[in-house]
């Protein structure tokens, strides 16, 4: 088999030499045969004639021998290629336009595919990632909190770990953050505190050193594994990093290992927003090192669990085992801490589930662009084929088989497709750069998108399929040369081709309308979201800070807060500063039960409960609409007070004036708090949902711990840079071991909240614009061609009295007819498919009248633009010369 292939390749490469060899071989044969006849006494020329006759025609033998070499098809292909290149070179404008059209489609598709490849297709760097699951413990009685917000308590976790059979390993971890202060800078680092099974469950090995094992997971072991990024930024990527140490929250930790770049678990995109708290990415892994009390704690549902299914165990089996175990563990719980179940979620669904829809939407819409590009290429090829009627007729008359003509035409479109594909890959490279700049930051692994082997294969396959799809109809049509008709000199099969071409245009316009409609709806939604009044000041600067282990009592922590605020308020130029445990739009909140005096309270009613210091509302510029804001008098050991937002007042106090009335937070056993003021409702949870009821308690009066982690907000006339510098100096003066994290303006938080929508809307708008451009070029191309083809007819009409206006109108009507037909189909599809986009819309209906009128108007205007040049040309036809030309 191999020798066969080698022979064929050899034969192909040395075609010319093999031909002369064969010629010589046959010549030799004939001469020997003639010699034999001569020896028998035949005359020389008679002997030669006889010899040739016996061989049976040298040319036929040569042809048969060539075929025996198995090369005929390759030679045909080469011939087709050569001929195709010549034909294309003769018509560079046609070749360039067609190749560019295909390049645009292939390029856009390839760029999006490279993103989909990175986000959805490429395997995750955690062994056999398909077998990984998260175990959550949702509680149906706990309000509309996402199921993923609950993990088992540690006592439950260890019971599960002991009793389960579904998992090979099961590990617990907790997100954390640490201040790292060196002489050069103070930063806060995202971290995970992990148990001894964490790395073995993820089946991940370090690139340097070792990972945390079971022996490390004990109190007092100050070791850490660091990320590749941290190794580079903090240790300069030096090989001798192992054994070096870093001070975290004032305690020194020794580096025992470095993880490779790809390892980033847990990343915030691996969980629903807010579940991981305020860390974005994880740069440190530190032993979980639970104390005996923590291990025995059954009330705090805070563990994050990742587990690897035992071979042969299905997710469903694991789910039913976990549910059964949680049900039996429920008996050990008391009071409100009952009713927790189990939810086994495939890790891949957690990690990529939320963006899957977006990815399919992008891939779907970019495929429409490709389809339009393909239609354009088909149209251009059809026009070319019609223009080549003469040439193809000659070839058919000379005996070219139909298959051969089809193959020739397909070779040409493949050449165009591959050329377009190459340009397309270059284009995809550029597009990908731009796309990464638009990254909303919450699409996992988007930054890792590259044009790799799989993407190149995709681009190649797309180019081939597209060019064959675009070329097949024109090729079949062109090969159907009717010899009789051609020879009679009519040679016009234009009618069939033209029907097909305008049909294609109608289809393309419909696709353009679908994309325009989608983009229009998203744009309208985006504008509405951007217009949402957040209710707080965008210029306010916020930063997170967390006290470390040396703050042991509540009094110490409170003293730290007071001192920090006091220092920050001294900022020149007048300012307000406050602290809160949960910033708006930061996906963090504290949910608590509550009880309103004089209201028909339900069991298990929940509200988001935020803790703030007195000048928080001033710092955020949130207006107090009734009563008063907290003041310094609302401190420890003073009468308990509470503030509510307008939404809460309306919902739970009805027509009553809440100020002066009483309510309780958390359990009904807690003391009463007096409502002292109502603030304007702000967009706390999301920009796109109506404000929900909120309760604010003075930070200094809360019964609950805040883990000592709060956000500082500062509003000042100074620039944000100055504010940040001043706040950093203040923190250094109060406690040199601590550092701020997530330093940003509130405006930046709002921008982040709209980032994904902006990403999606921008891309869809770009696709729609590309589609429009291609569609317009298509209409223009068809009209220009049809005017040229019908020059004689137009001339005749004018000679018979048609005015130039009539001619212009005819061209316009032809263009508009196609546009309107496509428009009707497109709008119908848009209306029918409204549901596809409905989940992505905000404030507009899928049948938004503004969009439904703007899109047709835009399309018709552009169609008229596309008609201008062909119409002008038609009007300039000179009847005399047109008729003479014919």
Whole-angstrom distance, CA of residue 33 vs CA of residue 620: 108
Closest CB to other proteins among 56 and 335?
56
25 lies in the binding site for other proteins (CB under 8 A) = yes
Which range binds other proteins by CB under 8 A, 29-37, 73-81, 99-107, 750-758? 29-37
Closest distance between other proteins and the C-beta of residue 15, in Å? 13
240 lies in the binding site for other proteins (CB under 8 A) = no
74 lies in the binding site for other proteins (CB under 8 A) = no
19 lies in the binding site for other proteins (CB under 8 A) = no
Closest CB to other proteins among 67 and 886?
67
Closest distance between other proteins and the C-beta of residue 52, in Å? 10
Which range binds other proteins by CB under 8 A, 7-15, 441-449, 552-560, 624-632? 7-15
In Å, what is the CA distance from 552 to each residue of 238, 434, 558, 635, 736? 37, 49, 11, 20, 17
In Å, what is the CA distance from 475 to each residue of 60, 471, 482? 31, 6, 14
64 lies in the binding site for other proteins (CB under 8 A) = yes
788 lies in the binding site for other proteins (CB under 8 A) = no
95: number of Cβ within 10 Å: 21
Whole-angstrom distance, CA of residue 192 vs CA of residue 199: 12
Binding test (CB under 8 A) with other proteins, winner from 9, 23, 24, 631: 24
29 lies in the binding site for other proteins (CB under 8 A) = yes
747: number of Cβ within 10 Å: 16
Interacting residues of 835 by C-beta distance below 8 A, sequence separation 6+: 846
Closest CB to other proteins among 76 and 452?
76
Closest distance between other proteins and the C-beta of residue 72, in Å? 12
In Å, what is the CA distance from 121 to each residue of 356, 359, 457? 11, 11, 14
Closest CB to other proteins among 29 and 210?
29
Binding test (CB under 8 A) with other proteins, winner from 19, 23, 44, 57: 57
Closest CB to other proteins among 62 and 222?
62
73 lies in the binding site for other proteins (CB under 8 A) = no
Closest CB to other proteins among 53 and 394?
53
Binding test (CB under 8 A) with other proteins, winner from 15, 38, 42, 61: 61
- HSE-CB for 656 with a 13 A CA cutoff: 14
49 lies in the binding site for other proteins (CB under 8 A) = no
In Å, what is the CA distance from 179 to each residue of 117, 212, 554, 746, 850? 36, 21, 20, 22, 51
38 lies in the binding site for other proteins (CB under 8 A) = no
Helices (H), 388-401: 389-397
Closest distance between other proteins and the C-beta of residue 2, in Å? 9
Binding test (CB under 8 A) with other proteins, winner from 55, 262, 313, 858: 55
In Å, what is the CA distance from 592 to each residue of 145, 336, 613, 819? 11, 12, 19, 58
Phi and psi angles of residue 523, each rounded to the nearest 5 degrees, phi first: -60, -45
Closest CB to other proteins among 25 and 636?
25
Nearest CA-CA partner of 745 in 713, 769, 770, 789: 713
For 864, counting Cβ atoms within 10 Å of its Cβ (0-12 exposed, 13-18 middle, 19+ buried), the class is: middle
Closest CB to other proteins among 10 and 804?
10
Binding test (CB under 8 A) with other proteins, winner from 32, 141, 238, 656: 32
Closest distance between other proteins and the C-beta of residue 403, in Å? 23
Which range binds other proteins by CB under 8 A, 62-70, 76-84, 700-708, 848-856? 62-70
12 lies in the binding site for other proteins (CB under 8 A) = no
54 lies in the binding site for other proteins (CB under 8 A) = yes
349 lies in the binding site for other proteins (CB under 8 A) = no
Number of residues that bind other proteins (CB under 8 A): 27
8 lies in the binding site for other proteins (CB under 8 A) = yes
Please report where in the chains the tokens 């429409």 appear, as a residue: 368
299 lies in the binding site for other proteins (CB under 8 A) = no
For 779, counting Cβ atoms within 10 Å of its Cβ (0-12 exposed, 13-18 middle, 19+ buried), the class is: buried
Which range binds other proteins by CB under 8 A, 67-75, 111-119, 411-419, 806-814? 67-75
Closest distance between other proteins and the C-beta of residue 51, in Å? 9
3 lies in the binding site for other proteins (CB under 8 A) = yes
Whole-angstrom distance, CA of residue 757 vs CA of residue 361: 13
Chain centre distance of CA 646: 38
Q: Are the beta carbons of 370 and 113 closer than 8 angstroms? A: no
Closest distance between other proteins and the C-beta of residue 77, in Å? 18
In terms of DSSP bridges, do strands 245-248 and 223-226 run parallel, antiparallel, or are they unpaired?
unpaired
- The vertex-825 CA angle with 496 and 364, nearest 5°, equals 100
Q: Are the beta carbons of 54 and 33 closer than 8 angstroms? A: yes
Closest distance between other proteins and the C-beta of residue 69, in Å? 5
Binding test (CB under 8 A) with other proteins, winner from 12, 42, 49, 65: 65
Whole-angstrom distance, CA of residue 435 vs CA of residue 759: 9
Interacting residues of 468 by C-beta distance below 8 A, sequence separation 6+: 410, 413, 414, 417
Helices (H), 735-790: 746-753, 755-789
42 lies in the binding site for other proteins (CB under 8 A) = no
DSSP secondary structure code for residue 623 in this structure: P
Binding test (CB under 8 A) with other proteins, winner from 56, 243, 403, 489: 56
Nearest CA-CA partner of 819 in 469, 470, 511: 511
Closest CB to other proteins among 26 and 223?
26
Site of interaction with other proteins (CB under 8 A) = 3-4, 7-8, 11, 21-22, 24-26, 28-29, 32-33, 36, 54-57, 60-61, 64-65, 67-70
């Amino acid at each position: 088999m191999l020798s066969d292939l080698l022979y064929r390749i050899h034969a192909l490469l040395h075609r010319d030499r093999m031909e002369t060899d064969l010629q010589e071989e046959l010549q030799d044969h004939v001469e020997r045969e003639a010699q034999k006849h001569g020896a028998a006494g035949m005359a020389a020329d008679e002997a030669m004639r006889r010899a040739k006759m016996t061989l049976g025609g040298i040319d036929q033998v040569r042809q048969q021998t060539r075929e025996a070499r198995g090369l005929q098809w390759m030679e045909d292909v080469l011939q087709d290629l050569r001929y195709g290149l010549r034909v294309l070179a003769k018509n560079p404008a046609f070749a360039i336009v067609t190749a560019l059209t295909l390049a645009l489609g292939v390029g856009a598709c390839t760029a999006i595919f490279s993103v989909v490849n990175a986000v959805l297709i490429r395997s995750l760097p955690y062994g056999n990632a398909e077998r990984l699951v998260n175990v959550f413990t949702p509680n149906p009685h706990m309000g509309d909190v996402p199921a993923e917000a609950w993990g088992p308590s540690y006592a439950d976790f260890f019971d599960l770990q002991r009793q389960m059979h579904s998992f090979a390993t099961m590990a617990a971890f907790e997100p954390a953050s640490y201040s790292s202060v060196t002489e050069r800078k103070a930063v806060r680092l995202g971290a995970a505190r992990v148990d001894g099974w964490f790395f073995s469950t993820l089946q991940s090995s370090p690139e340097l050193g070792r990972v945390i094992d079971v022996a490390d997971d004990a109190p007092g072991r100050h070791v850490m594994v660091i990320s590749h990024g941290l190794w580079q930024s903090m240790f300069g990527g030096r090989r001798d990093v192992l054994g070096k140490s870093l001070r975290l929250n004032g305690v020194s930790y020794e580096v025992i290992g470095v993880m490779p770049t790809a390892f980033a678990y847990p990343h915030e995109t691996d969980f629903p927003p807010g579940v991981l708290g305020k860390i974005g990415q994880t740069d440190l892994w530190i032993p979980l090192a639970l104390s005996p009390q923590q291990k025995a704690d059954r009330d705090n549902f805070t563990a994050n669990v990742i587990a690897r299914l035992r071979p042969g165990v299905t997710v469903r089996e694991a789910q039913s085992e976990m549910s059964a175990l949680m049900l039996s563990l429920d008996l050990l719980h008391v009071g409100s801490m009952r009713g927790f179940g189990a939810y086994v979620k495939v890790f891949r669904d957690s990690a990529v589930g939320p963006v899957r829809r977006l990815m399919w939407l992008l891939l779907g819409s970019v495929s429409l662009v490709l389809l339009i590009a393909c239609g354009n290429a088909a149209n251009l090829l059809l026009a070319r084929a019609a223009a080549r009627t003469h040439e193809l007729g000659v070839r058919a008359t000379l005996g070219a088989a139909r298959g051969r003509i089809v193959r020739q035409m397909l070779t040409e479109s493949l050449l165009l497709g591959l050329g377009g594909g190459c340009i397309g890959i270059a284009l995809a490279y550029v597009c990908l750069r731009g796309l990464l700049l638009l990254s909303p930051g919450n699409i996992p692994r988007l930054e890792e998108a590259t044009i790799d082997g799989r993407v190149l294969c995709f681009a190649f396959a797309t180019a081939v399929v597209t060019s064959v799809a675009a070329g097949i109809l024109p090729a079949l049509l062109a090969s159907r040369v009717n010899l009789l008709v051609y020879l009679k000199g009519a040679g016009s099969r234009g009618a069939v081709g033209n029907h097909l071409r305008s049909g294609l245009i109608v289809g393309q316009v419909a696709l353009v309308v679908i994309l325009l409609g989608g983009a229009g709806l998203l744009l309208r939604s985006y504008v509405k979201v951007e217009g949402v009044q957040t209710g707080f000041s965008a210029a306010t600067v916020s930063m997170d800070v967390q006290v470390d282990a040396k703050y042991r009592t509540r009094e110490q922590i409170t003293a730290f807060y007071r001192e920090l605020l006091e220092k920050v308020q001294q900022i020149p130029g007048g300012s307000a500063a406050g602290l809160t445990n949960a910033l708006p739009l930061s996906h963090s909140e504290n949910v608590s039960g509550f009880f309103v005096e004089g209201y028909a309270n339900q069991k298990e009613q929940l509200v988001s409960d935020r803790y703030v210091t007195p000048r928080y509302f001033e710092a955020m510029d949130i207006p107090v609409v009734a009563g008063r804001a907290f003041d310094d008098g609302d401190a420890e050991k003073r009468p308990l007070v509470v503030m509510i937002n307008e939404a809460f007042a309306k919902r739970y106090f009805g027509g009553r004036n809440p100020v002066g009335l009483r309510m309780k937070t958390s359990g009904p056993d807690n003391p009463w708090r007096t409502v002292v003021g109502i603030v304007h409702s702000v967009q706390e949870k999301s920009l796109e949902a109506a404000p929900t009821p909120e309760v604010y308690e003075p930070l200094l009066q809360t019964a609950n711990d805040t883990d000592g982690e709060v956000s500082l907000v500062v509003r000042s006339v100074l620039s944000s840079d100055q504010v940040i510098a001043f706040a950093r100096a203040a923190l250094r003066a109060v406690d040199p071991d601590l550092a701020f994290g997530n330093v940003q303006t509130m405006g930046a938080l709002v921008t982040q909240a709209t980032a994904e929508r902006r990403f999606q809307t921008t891309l869809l708008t770009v696709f729609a614009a590309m589609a429009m451009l291609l569609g317009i070029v298509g209409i223009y191309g068809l009209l220009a061609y049809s005017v040229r083809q019908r020059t004689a007819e137009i001339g005749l009409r004018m000679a018979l009295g048609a005015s130039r206006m009539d001619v212009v109108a005819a061209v316009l009507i032809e263009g508009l007819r196609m546009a309107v037909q496509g428009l009707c189909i497109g709008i119908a599809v848009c209306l029918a498919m409204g549901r596809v986009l409905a989940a992505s819309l905000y404030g507009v209906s899928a049948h938004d009248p503004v969009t439904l009128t703007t899109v047709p108007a835009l399309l018709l205007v552009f169609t008229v633009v596309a008609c201008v040049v062909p119409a002008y040309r038609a009007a300039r036809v000179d009847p005399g010369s047109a008729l003479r030309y014919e």
